[in-house]
Amino acid sequence: MSLSVSRARTVARILTESLPYIRKFAGNTVVVKYGGNAMVDEALKQSFATDVVLMKLVGIHPVIVHGGGPQIGKLLEQLNIESRFVDGLRVTDSRTMDVVEMVLGGQVNKEIVSLLNQNHGKAVGISGKDGNLIRARRLQARNNADESEFVDLGQVGEIVSIDTQVLEMMKASDFIPVIAPVGTDENGVSYNINADSVAGSIAGVLGAEKLILLTNVAGVQDDEGNVLTGLKVKQVEELASTGILKGGMLPKVECALDALRSGVHSAHIIDGRVEHALLLEIFTDEGVGTLITG
């Protein structure tokens, strides 16, 4: 069935609007943190996959970093292993770490790889352990009640260094890397690392054009719920200092700012509940979230 004239005009307008962005970003790297609703809703999963594959086809190099907290929690519950959190971080003993690696490096990672490949991409799943991608150490978390004390979170890690050799090999090919946020220390001990932090650090080391964080909210908002975009680093710092930014948005904003300070050209905190959020943010004038630049 042929397109109606109005529909055809809409398609033509969208394609025309996207062309300058395709020309601008072709050959550049875009790091995407994938999680939230976009990872569990079937329609959103499909739109995410087609967006990523299209990005690769037009010459952009997407790098995907994924989370998996709900999936980890579900399997821990099935195994009768208690989940404990301190300031939003999962306390990770050796049994929990085994489950984390099983879920992140196995179940979730391979589901994303399969999804991208089903949509005619060429995805390869890796963790931070592969090719010594992520060297980590035990996170020293301070007790909020007494900052002179540290809280033992077990095998929760922070990034020491990133070796991008394996990613550069994929960038030079048709492959799309899908990264599970697990790293090791010099003794081979595994660590569970926050996926936002991994995405931001990889974006910085790769000199990415963009870091995109998919969230379950519309973006950074003011006190009245209006989405703020086109922000500069200094404006975001002022929003944080005045208490407008709070809760789960704060660590995402801090991740975005760290990436920008490391040389990433722009950071985006976007609404992953919107179908084709990636394409709308990258290839249209309006976008679907908050854009932050240096």
Residue 161 within any structural domain of the chain: yes
Number of structural domains the chain divides into: 1
Residue 62 within any structural domain of the chain: yes
Q: Per-residue DSSP letters for the chain? A: -PPPHHHHHHHHHHHHHHHHHHHHHTT-EEEEEE-GGGGT-HHHHHHHHHHHHHHHHTT-EEEEEE--HHHHHHHHHHTT----EETTEEPB-HHHHHHHHIIIIIIIHHHHHHHHHHTT--EEEEETTGGG-EEEEE--EEPSS-TTSEE--BSBEEEEEE--HHHHHHHTTT-EEEEE-EEE-TT--EEE--HHHHHHHHHHHHT-SEEEEEESSSSSB-TTSPBP-SEEHHHHHHHHHTT-S-TTHHHHHHHHHHHHHTT-SEEEEEETTSTTHHHHHHHSSS-SEEEEE-
Q: What is the spatial distance between Cα 212 and Cα 193, in angstroms, rounded to a whole number?
A: 18
Q: What are phi and psi of 227, to 5 degrees?
A: -75, 130
Q: What is the CATH classification number for the domain harbouring 285? A: 3.40.1160.10
| Residue 40: domain span | 25-293
Residue 151 within any structural domain of the chain: yes
Q: Whole-prediction pTM value?
A: 0.92
Surface-to-core class of residue 148, CB atoms within 10 Å of its CB (0-12 exposed, 13-18 middle, 19+ buried) = exposed
Give the mean pLDDT per block of 10 residues along the chain (294 residues).
67 81 95 90 94 95 95 94 86 95 96 97 96 94 66 93 94 92 96 96 96 92 86 89 80 92 95 92 87 91
Residue 8 within any structural domain of the chain: no
List the 190-192 sheet strands across, edge first: 157-162, 134-138, 182-184, 190-192
pLDDT of residue 147: 62
Residue 73 within any structural domain of the chain: yes
Residue 3 within any structural domain of the chain: no
- Name the token pair of 6: 């109005």
pLDDT of residue 261: 94
pLDDT of residue 38: 86
pLDDT of residue 44: 94
Residue 7 within any structural domain of the chain: no
